[in-house]
Amino acid sequence: MNTVVQYLGYHWKGIPLTPTTAGQCRVCGGDLVGEVSTYKEVFGGRDNWTEEGMVALPDGEYVCQACRDVALGTSVNGKTRSRNENYFLRSYGFWVTDVELVFMESPEDLLRIDPGGRPFGVFIKDGDLKRKHFLYYIPLNMSVEEAWVFRAALLRPVPVRLSLLRYTAHKTVSAAEKIFAEKGVVLSQSAVVKYESLSERRRGELEQSGFPGREVSAMTVSERELLASIVRGFFRYN
Ligand SMILES: [Zn+2]
């Protein structure tokens, strides 16, 4: 199986996706594609490698060409960047499958991710990019219902239902929903209707209390967090 960093290697550097050696890559865990190196060849002499705890197979001996050249190579950090790599640093992030690499210009583009049923990876540059090794750590998603989006701000992937995000952003957002989105709470449609039928005083009380109870839709805390931050960014951007 291929990994997200291997999709990037394919689109950026033409590294083929078909394995050349049996086994799995120590760093990304994918098939051994392209020119395969030993762990020693890649890491020998490096004293700044501090992310060993994040590698897929700590006992693995070999490293695929995508991990070597794209995730760990000097070309991303160094002076000789390709156009795509420069673009990568400027863009809001990207989503990628084995057939396409799409750079995003703004948070809104998260709503347009359409992998066409293919496995895909998503990276958003919502924070500083001090380390670029994370490229091997972007998870491969099988569905937009249960996707993990890698956030630069957190240097880790967070779960998000992209289909729900699309739905939430595209429907008309009421004043009540805006208020609770700011608090990181997403309201169900019936809760919005109920809220808007209340007196001003009762609304104020509910806003103070954080609108507890069954009216709040059944999202996980991390989904709410991400959605709220994206909705906030979305509003700010517009
Ligand atoms: Zn690899």
Domain ranges in the chain? 4-160, 171-237
Kindly give the distance from the C-alpha atom of residue 205 to the centroid of ligand 1, in angstroms, as a whole number: 53
Is the pLDDT assigned to residue 148 strictly greater than 60?
Answer: yes
For residue 101, name the pLDDT band (cuts at 50, 70, 90): very high
More confidently predicted of 145 and 171 = 145
Return the bridge partners of 141, or none. Answer: 120
pLDDT of residue 167: 60
pLDDT of residue 91: 83
* Interval 22-67: pLDDT, tens: 999 999 999 999 999 998 888 775 545 556 667 889 889 999 999 9
pLDDT of residue 16: 96
Contacting residues for 55 by C-beta, under 8 A, at least 6 apart: 26, 27, 136
Q: Measuring CA to CA, how many Å separate 172 from each of 35, 145, 169, 215, 233?
A: 51, 21, 8, 19, 17
| Calpha distance 72→182 (Å, rounded) | 38
Kindly give the distance from the C-alpha atom of residue 38 to the centroid of ligand 1, in angstroms, as a whole number: 11
Q: What is the share, in percent, of the chain residues with pLDDT greater than 70?
A: 58
CA neighbor of 217 nearest in space, from 208, 227, 209, 207 = 227
Q: Of 70-79, 185-194, 213-222, 229-238, which has the strongest mean pLDDT? A: 185-194
Kindly give the distance from the C-alpha atom of residue 144 to the centroid of ligand 1, in angstroms, as a whole number: 24
Kindly give the distance from the C-alpha atom of residue 110 to the centroid of ligand 1, in angstroms, as a whole number: 26
Contacting residues for 3 by C-beta, under 8 A, at least 6 apart: 25, 28, 29, 30, 66, 136, 140
Q: Name the burial class of residue 97, with classes exposed (0-12), middle (13-18) and buried (19+) by CB atoms within 10 angstroms of its CB.
A: buried
Which of 80-89, 165-174, 217-226 bottoms out in mean pLDDT, i.e. has the lowest?
217-226
For residue 10, name the pLDDT band (cuts at 50, 70, 90): very high
Dihedrals phi, psi of 147, to nearest 5 degrees:
-105, 155
Kindly give the distance from the C-alpha atom of residue 64 to the centroid of ligand 1, in angstroms, as a whole number: 4
Kindly give the distance from the C-alpha atom of residue 5 to the centroid of ligand 1, in angstroms, as a whole number: 7
Question: In whole numbers, what is the pLDDT of the chain averaged over residues?
Answer: 74
pLDDT of residue 105: 84
pLDDT of residue 76: 41
Return the bridge partners of 23, or none. Answer: none
Which of 37-51, 95-109, 129-143 bottoms out in mean pLDDT, i.e. has the lowest?
37-51
Kindly give the distance from the C-alpha atom of residue 88 to the centroid of ligand 1, in angstroms, as a whole number: 20
Q: Measuring CA to CA, how many Å separate 85 from each of 8, 20, 57, 113, 126?
A: 10, 26, 27, 20, 17
User: Both tokens of residue 13?
Assistant: 């550097």
Is the pLDDT assigned to residue 110 strictly greater than 50?
Answer: yes
Kindly give the distance from the C-alpha atom of residue 63 to the centroid of ligand 1, in angstroms, as a whole number: 5
Which of 68-72, 159-163, 185-189 bottoms out in mean pLDDT, i.e. has the lowest?
185-189
Kindly give the distance from the C-alpha atom of residue 26 to the centroid of ligand 1, in angstroms, as a whole number: 7
pLDDT of residue 74: 47
Is the pLDDT assigned to residue 222 strictly greater than 90?
Answer: no
